[in-house]
């Protein structure tokens, strides 16, 4: 890894470490029980299949919200994150459940064995990868043949007339640039340096997964997930959640 990538990775680590304290207060991150949680579990089942009793890897697990949904589906979950404050919160939240937390780099996974997992999932990691192809190759290596990867992410960069209007209206309504705990300028600076700086699209993700050996790449709707997630939010935050293109992509290790 060259020095430029290392410096960027350290900034990304520091950014997410700093957000750990307020992360669960942000819409689109905290998953509320009931309809929102049910929607998440449906997307996971569509993308990963029946995971009851299976070993599932939650990459960039953050405070453990995705792991929580996987556990509800009966999975044996390993959560990996390289931001220690995030991992500490996940460990506290899931301490009485069938969950293992690990500190590690999702682009390398060098502490994990080959073909050790029946599935893998990540939410809002792909856009921030400094070496996406290395990351997908590492995930491919740790999955068993026939196992699936589910990536939930979005295009946080590309501006359309619709997204500009929605974000502009949101700022007029509440005067904010983003949600709780968000450093908008730092977020933009990180975005400008990553390989997906021009926007992570489903098409780009499909191509990159294919390059690293994945097959049967399938897109899944996340509309219900985020519509339920907006319930109870202020109008400004609802408009911000609707502005970007969000998606879920699953793929299989042959």
* Residues 213, 204: Cα–Cα separation, whole Å: 15
Mean pLDDT (the chain) is 91
User: Is the distance from CB of 14 to CB of 187 less than 8 angstroms?
Assistant: no
- Going by the DSSP 8-state scheme, the letter that residue 104 receives in this structure is -
> Residue 40: is its pLDDT beyond 90?
yes
Over residues 150-159, mean pLDDT: 91
User: Is the distance from CB of 107 to CB of 138 less than 8 angstroms?
Assistant: yes
User: Is the distance from CB of 142 to CB of 170 less than 8 angstroms?
Assistant: no
What structural domains and CATH numbers belong to the chain? 3-252 (3.40.50.150)
CB atoms within 10 A of CB 41: 17
pLDDT at res. 1: 42
pTM above 0.85, yes or no: yes
User: What radius of gyration, in Å, describes the C-alpha atoms of the chain?
Assistant: 17
User: Is the distance from CB of 191 to CB of 156 less than 8 angstroms?
Assistant: yes
Over residues 137-158, mean pLDDT: 96
- Going by the DSSP 8-state scheme, the letter that residue 121 receives in this structure is E
pLDDT digits (tens, 9 = 90+) for 158-197: 888 887 888 888 888 888 766 555 677 888 889 899 999 9
pLDDT digits (tens, 9 = 90+) for 16-35: 998 888 888 776 688 999 99
Q: Is the dihedral of CA 233, 222, 8, 16 positive or negative?
A: positive
Q: Pairing mode, if any, of strands 215-220 and 55-59?
A: unpaired
* Residues 16, 58: Cα–Cα separation, whole Å: 16
Cα–Cα nearest to 217, from 253, 254, 249, 247? 249
pLDDT at res. 141: 98
pLDDT digits (tens, 9 = 90+) for 84-125: 999 999 999 999 999 999 999 999 999 999 999 999 999 999
Confidence class for position 5, pLDDT limits 50, 70, 90: low
User: Is the distance from CB of 91 to CB of 101 less than 8 angstroms?
Assistant: yes
* Residues 128, 222: Cα–Cα separation, whole Å: 20
Size of the chain, expressed as the number of residues it contains: 254
* Residues 112, 140: Cα–Cα separation, whole Å: 12
Structure tokens of 86?
A: 């995030």
């Amino acid at each position: 890894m060259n020095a430029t990538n290392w410096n960027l990775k350290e900034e990304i680590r520091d950014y997410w470490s700093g957000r750990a304290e307020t992360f669960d207060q942000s819409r689109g991150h905290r998953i509320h029980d009931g309809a929102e949680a049910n929607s998440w579990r449906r997307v996971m089942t569509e993308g990963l299949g029946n995971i009851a009793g299976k070993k599932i890897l939650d990459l960039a697990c953050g405070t453990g919200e995705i792991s929580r949904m996987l556990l509800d589906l009966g999975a044996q979950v390993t959560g990996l994150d390289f931001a220690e404050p995030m991992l500490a919160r996940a460990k506290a939240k899931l301490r009485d459940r069938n969950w293992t937390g690990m500190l590690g780099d999702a682009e390398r996974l060098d502490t994990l064995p080959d073909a050790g997992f029946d599935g893998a999932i990540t939410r809002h990691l792909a856009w921030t990868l400094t070496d996406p192809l290395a990351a997908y190759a590492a995930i491919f290596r740790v999955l068993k043949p026939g196992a699936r990867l589910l990536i939930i992410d979005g295009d946080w960069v590309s501006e359309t007339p619709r997204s500009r209007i929605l974000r502009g209206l949101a700022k007029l309504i509440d005067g904010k640039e983003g949600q709780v705990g968000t450093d908008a300028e730092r977020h933009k600076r990180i975005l400008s340096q990553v390989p997906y700086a021009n926007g992570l699209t489903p098409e780009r993700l499909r191509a990159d997964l294919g390059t690293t050996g994945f097959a049967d790449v399938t897109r899944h709707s996340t509309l219900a997930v985020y519509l339920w997630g907006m319930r109870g939010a202020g109008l400004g935050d609802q408009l911000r959640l609707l502005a970007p293109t969000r998606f879920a992509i699953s793929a299989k290790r042959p």
